Every structure is written in structure tokens, then in C-alpha cells.
Chains A and B, each alone.
Chain A
Amino acid sequence: MSLNSPHAPAPDPRQLFEQMLLIRAYEDAIVTGSAAGSIPGTCTSVGQEAAAVGVVNALGADDLILTNHRSAGHLLARGADPGRLLAEVMGRRDGYCQGRSGSLHISARELGVVLTSTIVGAELSMATGVALSQTMLGRPGIVACFFGDGAACEGSFHESLNLAALWHLPVLYVCENNQWQAYVHRREAMSRERVSDWAAAYGIPAVTVDGNDVDAVLEAARHAAAQVRQSGQPYLLETWTYRTRGHLEPDDQAYVDAAEREYWRARDPIATCRERLIAAGRLTAAEAATIEDKVASRIDTARRFAEASPFPPIPTAAELARGVYA
């Protein structure tokens, strides 16, 4: 069954729940590893799982994804193997990029996750080119580009939207507005409340959706993706969400307003989803526990795989430059 059609049935909500749990468990493992010193500083997306899962599940197999430093949710929702992801983060040979990327720039061509960049905004500058390839080479997929509200303040955001609109490029811009731009609150950095307001200047349709409600994100993203497919024009979807943990592990978040954090903690996307599924009779507490156990054991296996994966052999000085050029 293809998800390319806007009429394709939505994925089973329990699958969305499970994917969110998997992302949370994976990142919890990273936090633990980080605290123990076995994993270098890493950006997590704890609290943003619904935004990632909702959008990625609205995409089809032909669609391509560009992402940024907070990519674990996108990769896992796309079906990445948590063991290979963890191995990459730990600098091991079996990682998706042979240990050359680390946590910040993981790409996985086989999953259509291309050109991950941790230069804030660079993913926006490349998205137009990826979409140009799709149209010029007659490939069916659209291009989903994930970025933060911080990246939206870079010139590349504005240049990208302008060109995508001018050249009719099928880009689904997904701004994950998690309220923070590293250690700067978005209110200190943005002239408007919402990134979606900026899209109008380029004639690009845009909507802001509750990014902590996986159903709402999925629906909005399915609509957005269908629009891009149909019109061949860009669309901007802003997911209004929150980065519950710090910018980069470890981070004591002493700079965060307690009330703000409490407000968002009470809106945890996974807890909300669980309650809703149970209230609707689509999940029992026992089933939820079974899913949690399954996820925990997958992460356990992933951790063992990553730890068992050797570091790449120490190369000679000449070999260090291997793979720079094609």
C-alpha cells in the first residue's frame, strides 16, 4: 500500500505510539551513555517525538528527507536500525556513516534520509537542490526538510523558500519550533511569534499545528504532503512543540523558566497519546506495557550491538584522507 496517495489509510495509531516510545527510549539510552562518558555530547529531541513521527509517517517510500542535528526521531520513524544509529553516535565502524558523522550529521541513503547537516540552515539551502533533482530527473518523491526555528532565522531559510516558490520545487518545509535556539529563547530572536507567518511573504501556504499531538501532526502532514505532490509547489508546516531536555547533553537547563517547562511537561506527546488511545478503547494498559517491553528490549539489543561494534581501525596519515574525494 502506498502512502503517496492522500487517500491512503492512516497508519495504525499503535504503531505511531510505538515509534514515539522507541525514539524516547533510544534517546534515554544516549542520555545515560552521555552521563557515563561513553557517548559524546548529543542533541536529543525528547518531547518532540510526535512532530517527527507524525510527519515521517505522512511520507511515502519515494520521498526524501533532509534533517539536522536533532535527527534521531526522523531516522527512527523512517525505519533506521537503532543499533547502527547508536554505533554511529559512539563512533563505531558499523554506524550508518562508518563513524565519520557522529550524532550530528547522520545520513542514511538507503532510507532516503539524505544530506543531514548540522550547519544550522544548510539543510534548507540544499533542499531546493534535492527537489530540483527530483523534478529534473522525473522522480516521483517530494522532499521533506526538517529544521528548527533557529534555522528559520538564517538567511538560507528565506533564500530557500523564495527559490522553491520561484522554481516550483516540491519541498515540504517542516519547522520544528521547539521554542529554543540552543541557549536563546525564540522570543529573543524572532520578530514574529510563528515561522509560518514568514511563508506568506513568498506565497507559500503554511500552517502551524500542535506538534505534541501526533494525530494532529499526521493529519496536517498528510494534507501538506498531498498539496506538495498535487501542486508541485512548496508548503510549510510548523510543528509547535518543546525541547524538554537541554540543547546538548549534558545541560542543567538552569536558564529555562520553570513554569514554561512545567507547561510543556504536562503536554508530553507520548503520555497524551497513550491516554487518548486507552480512552478510545484502541489500547489496553496491558498492551501498552507489552509495547514498552518490546521497545526496551530493542534498545537493549541496539546498545549491545553498538558496544560490540569495534572502533574503526586507526589509519595511517595517508589513509585518514580516504573517502574525501570520489
Chain B
Amino acid sequence: MPTLTLYDAVGAALAEEMRRDDRVLAFGEGIATKRRELVEEFGPRRVRNTPLAEGIIAGTAVGAAGTGLRPVIDLLFAPFLCYAMDELVNSAGKLRYMSGGQFQFPLVTLVMTGSGWGVGAQHNHNLEAWFVHSPGLKVVMPATPADAKGLLKAAIRDDNPVLCFLDIGLLYQPGEVPEGDHLVPLGQAATLRDGRDVTLVSYGKTVGHCLQAADALAAQGIAAEVIDLRSLKPLDNAAILASVSRTGRLVVVHEANRLCGVGAEIAAMVAEHAFERLKAPIVRLGGPDAPVAASFPLEQATVPQPEAIAAAAATLCRG
């Protein structure tokens, strides 16, 4: 299997899907500059730089998707989604339903998210829960280059608007990526490690932290199951419930702030459907309800680290 960074896996997915389907095109703030090879292969009509105007980038994608194209847009950093909120939430997410099904909106929005660059809160803000809360949208967040490729390819083929959050801390980490037409279906979590004592559920960069925590827990004789959600919407409730039903303990981990985060939904969902299987309270680990500082150690402190995850899980198992 070839080894690619997550960034290159995204490029490979774009190239393969543009090759497969003439209707796929990509535009955004510098995509034609940064992914020169796409311009060379597909030409400047299908790979375009745009003005720095997130609203019109997203709106153009919505209009194009509604009338037959399959655009992928690159909005750079997640906080800039605020400028594209109206187009994605009020138009892309709603107009299929409101038109009585006359239109559909196959578009993909790429953004970078999370800690790892040390440039402060206006470039680092994990906004995925906002979009999970918006009807009509789908949301994915890969933790590996293989999933980045597979999820993005599936997202491009999906007939609905999909937001793809790329964790900046993972962007240049290499990983094995299967050759050929590798697809990861939206809405299917991956169980990365089996264990019967506690379930660790996560997505994005904290998946790796959960795996490290599971190693530390194993050394203490605690077997942790690790689930990478990959898709936040649709959410693989079945995978989470099946695991928690076996282990009876759940720790949900994400970098985004805890308050009204995706973890809150997962905790509530498990409490609703598997309460009687729980042997201990559900624990959620997430960032503080605060903008992220730029200084590297302060930035990292907002991300649940392996030690904290292992400590939380061990407490549950001992309690």
C-alpha cells in the first residue's frame, strides 16, 4: 500500500473523482495555486482560484450543485465558515426540502480545523457541531489519510451537501492508503481496537490520543475499545451502542469545546438507548468554552491528551 499524507490523500481523491465525473469541479481560495497538478490535468475551468469571499464561494457552489455540477470548495480554515454560514445552512441544507424535492445539492466543503498551527482562535475553532445541528447537511472528519481519501470520494458522490473537516494537526502525517477506488461510506464508524472494559469514542486528532490511552490502559490490565466515528452526521449510533452494550462504560473525546458538542449528543443517545447497560456514568472530555490561545503549550492544553483520557477511563473502571 502506498503511503500518503492526509493532504495528498485529499488531492488524490479530488483527482480520481474529477477523472471519473466531468461534473466535479473544485474552487476556492488558492486551490489552483496549491494543487497545481489538478490544474495541469483538468484545466483552469475545473480548478479555479476565487476571491477571498467565502459567501460567494459557497453560494456559487450551492447554485452550481442545484443545477447539475458537483462542486468541491476549499474555504481554508474552519472559522471562515462563519462567512459561508448562510449559504451552507440556509440554502444548501434547506432548499431541497423547501422545494418539495425539486433540487438537490451535491457539494463538498473542505476546511481545516483544530490545533497544531499555533496561530490562535481566529484560525483554530472546531465548528463541526454547528453543522451537525443544521438539517440537510452531512459532516465528516477523518483521522487517517486512508479515511480522508475514502470519505472525500464518498462525499463527492453523495447527492447532499457534505462538510469535510480536515484536522490540521493530522494534515501532514503519513499513512497507508489503499490503492484503487477506495471508498469509505458516510455514516460508518470504524472500531480500531477491541476491548471489553470501556469504550472510547472519538474523531479527528483525538482518535490517536484514544489509541495511546488504550495502550496505557492495557498496561494496567484495562481493555479499551476505540471507535473512530469518521462521520458525525449521519452518526453511527449502532456501532456506539453495540460497543457500550458490551463494555458498559463510555468516554467520549473530542477537541471541540464540550458545551453542546457532538459528545453531548452521543452521551444523550447512549443514555436514552443503553442506560441499563451502563455500569458507570458517561464521561465527556473536550475543550474549554473559550477561544483557543496561540502559544503552543496553551493551544495543546485545550486538546484532551492521552493521559487525561486514560485517567478518566481508569477511574470509570475502578469506580
CB neighbours (8 Å) of B102 from chain A are: 97, 107-109
- Residues of B near A66 (CB, < 8 A) are 63
Point out the residues of chain A lying under 8 angstroms from B50, CB to CB. Answer: 163
Find out whether the CB atom of B56 lies under 8 angstroms from the CB atom of A109: no
Min CB gap A204→B, angstroms: 15
For the complex, is A137 an interface residue (Cβ under 8 Å from B)?
Answer: yes
Interface assignment of B2: CB less than 8 Å from any CB of chain A: no
Restricting to B102-138, which residues have a CB under 8 Å from any CB of A?
102-106, 135-136, 138
Cα(A116)–Cα(B21), bound, Å: 28
Contact with B along A290-311 (1 / 0, CB 8 A): 0000000000000000000000
B172: interface (CB < 8 Å):
no
* A326-B159 CB under 8 A given contacts A115-B63, A115-B103, A136-B45: yes
Which of B6-14, B83-91, B215-223, B245-253 lies at the binding interface? B83-91
The residue in A116, A126, A127, A326 that gathers the most chain B C-beta atoms within 10 A of its C-beta is A126
CB-based contact B55/A130 at 8 Å = no
Closest CB in chain B relative to A114 CB, distance in Å: 6
Tell whether, in the assembled complex, residue B100 and residue A130 are in contact, meaning their CB atoms are under 8 Å apart.
Answer: no
User: Known interface pairs A125-B58, A126-B60, A166-B51. Does A105 touch B98 (Cβ–Cβ under 8 Å)?
Assistant: yes
- The residues of B that contact A130 with a CB separation of less than 8 Å are 63-64, 66-67
CB distance from A167 to the nearest CB of B (A): 8
Q: Residue B100 contacts which of A114, A119, A323 (CB distance < 8 angstroms)?
A: A323
Question: Contact between B99 and A107 (Cβ–Cβ < 8 Å)?
Answer: yes
Q: Are B96 and A129 in contact (CB under 8 A)?
A: no
Contacts of A125 on B, CB cut-off 8 Å?
A: 55-56, 58-60, 62-63, 86-87, 91
Is there contact, CB below 8 Å, between B97 and A100?
yes
- Bound-complex Cα distance A324 to B101 (A): 8
Asked if A129 and B55 sit within 8 Å, CB to CB, the answer is no
Closest to B71 in A: A129
> Count of A residues near B, CB < 8 Å?
45
Residue A122, interface by CB 8 Å: yes
Give A312's nearest chain B residue, CB to CB: B100
Interface string of A123-162 (1 = CB under 8 A from B): 0111111111110110000000000000000011001101
User: Does B69 belong to the interface (CB within 8 Å)?
Assistant: yes
> Within 8 Å of chain A (Cβ to Cβ): is B160?
yes
Q: Is the CB of A107 within 8 A of B51?
A: no
Cβ–Cβ < 8 Å partners of B56 in chain A = 125, 128, 156, 159-160, 162-163
By Cβ-Cβ distance, the 9 closest A-B pairs, closest first, are A129-B63, A125-B59, A126-B63, A159-B56, A326-B159, A129-B64, A97-B100, A98-B100, A133-B67
Residues of A bordering B, CB below 8 Å? 64, 66, 95-101, 105, 107-109, 114-117, 119, 122, 124-134, 136-137, 155-156, 159-160, 162-163, 166-167, 321, 323-326
